[in-house]
Amino acid sequence: MATSKAQPPLITVLGSLNMDLVSYVPHHPLPGETLTSSRFAVSPGGKGANQAVACAKLSRSQPSHPTSTNETPTARIRMLGAVGQDTYGEQLKSNLSSFGVDISGVIAPPSLKTGLAIIIVDEPTGQNRIVLSPEANHSLQASQFSTPSSLGDPLPDLLIMQLEIPLPTVLAALRVARDAGVKVLLNPAPAQELPAEAYEGLAHLVVNETEASILGGVAESDLDTESGLEAVGQTFLKRGVQNLIITLGGRGVYYVSADGKKGLVPAEKAKVVDTTAAGDTFVGRYALDVVSGNFNIEDAVRKANRAAAKTVERLGAQDSIPWRDEL
């Protein structure tokens, strides 16, 4: 299908690229409250770009590692998306390239600004709140993804998408991938209702508790028990999903597959500093197992869980994602 046997598998990420403006505060502000942050950072982000970087970094050792010079990455990573013709856009593309991501599919439409994310991190807990300004990300139109060639040449072994670009665009790419025989991993964040066609034959669906609740049509409290998780899991399997992952924060990760495998993997112990990009790290590590040629859902979840735990112990988004040799 996508790649020659002489080359590592190809993962294509279609999604958002944002510049993150991050403030670290003693607590999340109450309505009408003004806080002074303890520190501020500007760093590359966006769920699409974060997941591309996660795939890239977790597929190889860090450049300073003794084996990195003659090491072959376990996967090739390609990014499809849009930035503005501005300094932030150039920084985002340069950062992706520095991690070995192919950015030939990242466009920069004239007169548009690069997407921004305003992130407030509660320092005592590491929990964040995020406000997105999509800007150029919303210039990606469904009409641009009407043929297999829109996914790049060669076709990828796996297409990863999120919902920080327009939903019609995601659905169009889903249809093209399905018709071309390309497996899709969908991480529907931020959550919004999806049509039935989105689930039909979907290889991998990765959601958190909130997303599982919204998309599964159940109260979030229903997911407090394993029986509740199994019930919502069956809902997604009946819709056509082949592998479902529900990340549960400190409770761990629940998984269920159409071939009968299921389980609840405990959370890894970690000193939480900043949860930004933890979910994206999980997706990246999981995706590498998907294209490895020896996919086992439980093993994939455990490895992804371990990688995400490393991410939350560090500040930032892409900088906090570990390299393969750090796990």
Q: What is the predicted pLDDT for the residue at 236?
A: 98
pTM of this prediction? Answer: 0.92
153 as an active site residue: the answer is: no
Return the number of other C-beta atoms located less than 10 Å from residue 149's C-beta. Answer: 11
Q: Residue 139: pLDDT above 90?
A: yes
For position 6, what pLDDT does the model report? 73
Percentage above 70 pLDDT, the chain: 97
| Whole-number Cα distances in Å, 195 to 44, 140, 167, 209, 239 | 31, 20, 10, 20, 10
CA separation for the pair 219, 209 (Å, rounded): 10
CB-based contact 126:273 (threshold 8 Å): yes
**Which structure tokens are listed for 205?**
């669906």
DSSP 3-state of 132: strand
Scanning the structure block, which residue is given the tokens 């889903």?
174
- Taken in order 233, 235, 236, 237, the sign of the CA dihedral is positive
- Quick one: tokens of 125? 């807990």
At 256 the pLDDT is 98
Catalytic residue, from 20, 157, 280, 289: name it: 280
CB 252 within 8 A of CB 233: no
pLDDT tens sequence across 204-233: 999 999 999 999 999 999 999 999 999 999
Q: How far apart are CA 43 and CA 263, in angstroms?
A: 36
The pLDDT-based confidence of 4 (bands split at 50, 70, 90) is very low
Query: In the predicted model, is pLDDT for residue 66 greater than 90?
Result: no
Pairing mode of beta strands 253-257, 243-247: antiparallel
Q: What is the mean pLDDT of residues 75-98?
A: 97
- 62-76, 83-97, 114-128, 157-171 — which is least confidently predicted? 62-76
Sheet hosting strand 243-247, strand order edge to edge:
102-107, 76-82, 10-14, 158-161, 183-186, 204-208, 243-247, 253-257, 262-265
Measured between alpha carbons, how far is 88 from 78 in angstroms, rounded to an integer?
Answer: 20
More confident residue, 295 or 132: 295
Ranges of beta strands (E only) in 60-218 are: 76-82, 102-107, 115-122, 128-133, 158-161, 183-186, 204-208
Rounded CA-CA distance 200/206 in Å is 15
